[in-house]
Amino acid sequence: MAPQRSFSRYNPGNPPSLSDRFRRRSSTVLPRRKKTVGLDLGTSRVAVVIAESDEPGTPVVILGVGESPSDGLRKGVVVNLDKTIASIQAATVAAERMAGHRIESVVVSLSGTHLWSQNSTGVVAVAHPDHEISEDDVQRVVEASRAISVASDRQVIHVIPRAYTVDGQDGVRDAVGMTGHRLEVETNIITGAQTAVQNVIKCVHGAGFDVEDVVCAGLAAGEGVLTPQEIELGVCLVEIGAGTTNVVVFNDGSARHLAVLPVGGNHVTSDIAIGLRTTLDEAESLKLNYGHALPDVIDHGEKVEVRQVGGDRIQALPRRFLAEIIGPRMLEIFQLAREEVRKSGFDQLLPAGVVVAGGGSRLMGTMDAAQSVFNTASRLGQPIALAGLADKAHGPSFAVPAGLVKWGARDRGHSTTRQPVTFGNTYQKTVRWLRDFF
């Protein structure tokens, strides 16, 4: 039986006013540097990033990185507790050695097609006698928006405020300090399967760590690779993992729609293995070294050597044939992502275009394929605003773990540039149940 675990959870209020931010930055007492650990539970690997943060607006300093093959997850969901625990322990040991810091708690990612997003609204009367809106009023109205119908086997993961309305004046970003009688809020609520959340928490506890926060992988990736300007203008993030693809639409400074597609880079690898009658390892190598998402750009004369399964026979095949296997699957991923954008209603409101991240984006021609499907500009999403050993957490495959440490730093009060995220009572009940059970 594992020992009892505690669970600490930051409960952010509304972003501070400009005067509060100024006072914080003007203080002669420098804040103590905080350590944050991001744990990304992926289908093909578990990644851990240890970082520390200082003043708001300064880069998060990377101290250590660790990775381990992931054998206990499928399509982002835990299917084997023991194997997942072993992967977490291997990755954390590597990160601890690099950082020279012992891990106690983590901000962990959550993925899988069980994650859904929906819009909601809430309204409350301002409580203070002089009708000045307080942080408590904001918390109450966000909680009021949580009153949606949720199936008994699901729970609220995130409640993301989009905008407030004060006595009919809409589009308010920060309502604290304003005067009004009636406060309304529009929120984006993300729910997930209770069992999926419980199993993630069990694995982290089983590996010997506390859970500081649970964050949807798509939101973490956005934190890791998107600029504030892109989130403000409107952008679609497509994070292609091994087993799933996260699609998140951002606009006016917050997440507006989130979906998880049941396809990812492993499906491309499997297509190659079947089409060329080779092993999955050989197919993965061919994909990364010679693959291309757009067959038409490959010269007919180019050849690749393929070691076929069941022997040492090596066959030279047209590289274009390899691309013809890969292309349809990559186009399918982007077409499904585009359909999610259409569902969100923001398909015409993405002036910042499409940002593609995740390990699946390393395939040659991926940006061009995204641009051809979305008919808008695209770029590769790599972690930004990092310092220290940033080269160890570089590349699109580190979008989620890098975003997790930035998320953790922000929610400790070290950043005030993003909308707050609060967690539901159901979430707390789940954690208490697990703590008591173990």
| DSSP notation for 129-155 | TT-B--HHHHHHHHHHHT-----TTEE
pLDDT of residue 431: 43
What H or E segment, with its residue span, contains residue 123? strand 116-125
pLDDT at 57 (0 to 100) = 72
End-to-end Cα spacing for the chain: 7
The pair of three-digit structure tokens given for residue 158, joined into one six-digit string: 């995130």
For position 365, what pLDDT does the model report? 98
Domain ranges of the chain: 1-117+192-226+381-438, 118-191, 227-380
In this prediction, residue 29 carries a pLDDT of 44
pTM score, whole prediction: 0.85
Query: Cα angle vertex 105, ends 101, 108, to 5°?
Result: 115
CATH tag for 227-380 (out of 3.30.420.40, 3.40.50.11900, 3.30.9.10, 3.40.50.300)? 3.30.420.40
Which superfamily is assigned to 1-117+192-226+381-438 in CATH?
A: ATPase, nucleotide binding domain (3.30.420.40)
| Closest C-alpha to 293, from 243, 363, 346, 386 | 363
pLDDT at position 32: 59
pLDDT recorded at residue 310: 79
| Nearest by Cα to 116 from 187, 186, 188 | 188
- Residue 51's closest CA among 95, 2, 114? 95
Query: In whole angstroms, how far apart are CA 23 and each of 10, 55, 316?
Result: 22, 13, 67
Q: What is the Cα 361 distance to its own chain's centre?
A: 15
Q: Topology of domain 118-191, per CATH?
A: Dna Ligase; domain 1 (3.30.1490)
Which three-class secondary structure state does DSSP give residue 163?
strand
Strand ranges for 173-209 from DSSP E: 182-193
The per-residue pLDDT for 55 is 72
Two domains, one topology: 118-191 and 227-380: no
Pick out the chain residues at pLDDT < 50: 1-30, 412-438
What pLDDT score was predicted for residue 411? 64
